Amino acid sequence: AEVNYLGQLQHPNLVKLIGYCCEEDHRLLVYEYMSSGSLENHLFRRISETLTWTRRMKIALHAAKGLAFLHDAERPVIYRDFKTSNILLDVDFNAKLSDFGLAKDGPMGDQTHVSTRVMGTYGYAAPEYIMTGHLTARSDIYGFGVVLLEMLIGRKALDKSRPSHEHNLVDWARPLLTHEKKCLKILDPRMDGQYLPKAAIKVANLAHKCISQNPKGRPTVSHIVQGSFYESDVFMSCFDYL
């Protein structure tokens, strides 16, 4: 499946498949080298300097553009595994989606959804998909919202090391995102002072919409790219005013 999709779909924000090898039971895929590793490593492994606000927003925009290309293709594709470990970064921190092993053709014509066996990663998978196996483009938007929360707050989607009511990031953060003061207090302290409060609130509101329990309440990825991230103040940091 991965070879089929990446062989046909090429975009600056999708990792490039260079070649593949199939010999007896051995199968190898060769991708372009993404020297800065995964978003997950930079957020949670403490392997390098903290990602700045501006860099985080750039990564979110690039990932959304890659997703928009899949959703808006002539034959729409549902990614089905949107998570921080699948967002890879090159030397300039340009983000690209990787790992298309779970990708699925989206609904066509009069279809409202695709029915499939539930797969993906718990914590990122949309609740209606887990419950029914019904897959739509809005299922990917939920995963995008979870990743956006992880970038905003600096916490993993699931973290059993925290108090029980904070294990699930979405459940814990959802009621706080709509209160400006509470929202600003839970943002990643490693970004302290880097962002404009109004920009952070705007992105938090977007994340809140993306993780809506009702799929119809989630924006399309095209709306995200052309609307929320098109506004320049989202990318501005306090340093732009020095």
Q: Which residues are catalytic?
A: 81
Give Cα 225 distance to the centre of its chain: 13
| Torsion from C-alpha of 48, 90, 82, 175, nearest 10 degrees | 40
Tell me which amino acid residue 189 is. Answer: P
The helix or strand, by DSSP H or E, that contains position 162, with its residue range, turns out to be none
Are 124 and 82 in contact, with CB atoms under 8 Å apart?
yes
d(CA 188, CA 76) in angstroms, rounded, equals 35
Contact predicate 1/53, CB 8 Å: no
Q: Which residues contact 78 (CB under 8 A, 6 or more apart)?
A: 70, 71, 103, 104, 105, 106, 114, 135, 136, 137, 139, 140
Task: Look at strands 17-23 and 77-78 and give their pairing.
Answer: unpaired
* DSSP-H helix ranges across the chain: 2-8, 39-44, 53-71, 127-132, 137-153, 169-173, 180-185, 197-210, 221-226
